[in-house]
Structure 1
Amino acid sequence: MSLVTLDIPEPQQLRGGWAAMAAVCAARGWNDSAYAEKDQWLYHDGGGNWACLRFQHGGRAVMLGHDHEYSETYYGEAAEYFQEEETDLLAAAPDWWAADLNPQPLGEWLGFVYGWDGLQWQRAAYDLDDGFISVGLVDMCCDDSFDLLRQFASDAPGLNGEEPDDEALRQLVAADGNITAALLGAVVPGWDIEAGVAAGRKFLLAKV
């Protein structure tokens, strides 16, 4: 059975929103909600739903994650634990997808594994809901309304009960990881801007 090609933004198109969310979260002291390491970007919503993008050589990457409510795919030990039929998330996949499928530190089970070969996203063929959409990663990174980012930023003390300005949010995402104190300060005044800038700029470390 062949792989299924997915309509998901390429890794570089995810960076601006992911970095902006990391900056906002770190500024308010939530350092493990969205963050970047040298070879991976990580995100969780605080409710057991998460996604991780792990980079490999040659411009390749693997996206893995799980939604504890909506992932109907049970892979590996999860199938035995929940006594469900296993979904082979690596069926027909090249070997490099399996280089690092450890769900830690964000979760325990895998609901989806997607591969980026430098040109396209693909996954194994199955008809079940794997939880990717409900995790909300694409909405977080690519939604022009910035609803999720606004929600995380709206109680910044310097906003005095007002929501952050749409243009300020747009500029923070458009910075594509090149976040400055001025850009972040316009969104979450009164929080730890230095910590937020540092967290956002870590997304520039990975070669995407």
Structure 2
Amino acid sequence: MEQISRRTVLTAMGALGTMTVAGCADDEPSQLDPSSTHVVEGDGGSGSSASGSSSAGSEGSGDASSEGGMRQVQLDSPDAMRGRWAAYTAVVLAASDNSESSRAEDGDWIFQHELGPWAMLVRFKDGKALLAGHANADIVRDLTQEKKIRRALVAGAPKWWGALDTALPDTARIGFVLGWDGKTWQGLAPSVSNFDALPFYPKSQQACGEQLVMWGSKAEGSYTGSAKAAADAAMRAGTQLTAAQLKKLGPGIQSARVKGALTAAKAYEGKGKH
């Protein structure tokens, strides 16, 4: 997991605003060394209020290439990530002055890293989902270049992936698109490569738990002992997180911000609307 310095976190807590997500004219996502199944760290849904997960295990292998050049990505299901995503959102809001943090908006979920990289989970009524975003916050592209990149990232994908263009504004610069069909995640090799570079904390209990402790302790604690227990409880609670559970994470939690943080966590409830 990416290590972030104490100085970086303290800076983010007090002064860091959201960096503009832009893109680059020559920013074609790099090619991934071809492999049949790609593994992204996950834990099958622990630390979540839901138990669903990708149908493949976190250490699977074998020929999982699919039609259209799509590759299976072993990442937990959206429901399995819900509790972690909600808890992370609440803790960052309660511990910092960043008003443009991770959040749930009208059924979709947004992950905003404190240094700029981002991801958006576009959720459908039937349980399907698209995860799109960019690991590089300093990319600049014009609209023509962005359209070209988007077409390349969904080439050969199922038709329902086309909803991406209506769900995300054309001003968003995208480096990866992954699709959840209700059973598995899939994406083209360039998407998987860019997603790998994103420090996406909701992907696992370990990654998310370390962040909850870091923000809650003002970067003084570690994900062990009582701090780990408090973080795990927050992730299990997810959308039902309480003020007591949030404050138990440490002195980094600002009492005046707790109410808003709990409201933000609860916004992750419900189904998708697309």
Q: Of 229, 245, 252, which residue of structure 2 is paired with 1:167?
A: 229
Q: Partner of 2:111: helix, strand, or coil?
A: strand
RMSD of aligned residue pairs (Cα, Å): 3.1
1:131-142 to 2 correspondence within 5 Å? 131-137=194-200, 139-142=201-204
Q: Partner of 1:131: helix, strand, or coil?
A: helix
AA aligned to 2:264 is A
Q: Match of 1:47?
A: 115
Q: Of 132, 147, 151, which residue of structure 1 is paired with 2:210?
A: 147
Alpha-carbon distance change, 162 to 66 in structure 1, aligned in 2, over 3 angstroms: closer
Return the offset for 1:30.
2.5
Q: Match of 1:206?
A: 271
Return the offset for 1:111.
0.7
Q: Of 123, 134, 154, which residue of structure 2 is paired with 1:66?
A: 134
1:83-98 to 2 correspondence within 5 Å? 88-98=152-162
AA aligned to 1:11 is P
Percent of aligned pairs sharing the same letter: 25
Q: Match of 1:196?
A: 261
Q: TM-score, normalised by structure 2?
A: 0.61
Q: Partner of 1:51: helix, strand, or coil?
A: strand
Q: Match of 2:247?
A: 185
Q: Of 90, 104, 114, which residue of structure 2 is paired with 1:36?
A: 104
Alpha-carbon distance change, 65 to 86 in structure 1, aligned in 2, over 3 angstroms: closer
Structure 1, unaligned runs of 5 or more: none
Return the offset for 1:121.
0.6
Q: Contact 1:59 / 1:117 at 8 angstroms: preserved in 2? A: yes
Structure 2, unaligned runs of 5 or more: 1-67
Alpha-carbon distance change, 9 to 76 in structure 1, aligned in 2, over 3 angstroms: farther
Return the offset for 1:55.
0.4
Q: Partner of 1:65: helix, strand, or coil?
A: strand
Q: Of 106, 117, 124, which residue of structure 2 is paired with 1:56?
A: 124
Q: Contact 2:124 / 2:272 at 8 angstroms: preserved in 1? A: no
Return the offset for 1:86.
8.5
Q: Equivalents in 2 of 1:60, 1:131: separation in Å?
A: 21
Alpha-carbon distance change, 46 to 76 in structure 1, aligned in 2, over 3 angstroms: farther
- Which of structures 1 and 2 has the larger relative contact order (alpha carbons within 8 angstroms, sep 6+)? 1
Q: TM-score, normalised by structure 1?
A: 0.79
Return the offset for 1:37.
1.5
Q: Contact 1:43 / 1:51 at 8 angstroms: preserved in 2? A: yes
Partner deviation per Cα, 1:128-187 (whole Å, 9 max, x = no partner): 7632122122x444132622222222229xxxx666822111100111321111111211
Q: Contact 2:109 / 2:121 at 8 angstroms: preserved in 1? A: yes
Partner deviation per Cα, 1:96-132 (whole Å, 9 max, x = no partner): 1121335459x731111111111111112x3676321
Indicate whether 1:14 and 2:77 are aligned.
no
Q: Match of 1:121?
A: 185
Q: Partner of 1:23: helix, strand, or coil?
A: helix
Q: Partner of 1:175: helix, strand, or coil?
A: helix
Q: Contact 1:103 / 1:110 at 8 angstroms: preserved in 2? A: no
Q: Partner of 2:136: helix, strand, or coil?
A: coil
Q: Contact 2:110 / 2:119 at 8 angstroms: preserved in 1? A: yes
Q: Partner of 1:58: helix, strand, or coil?
A: coil
Return the offset for 1:39.
1.8
AA aligned to 2:73 is L
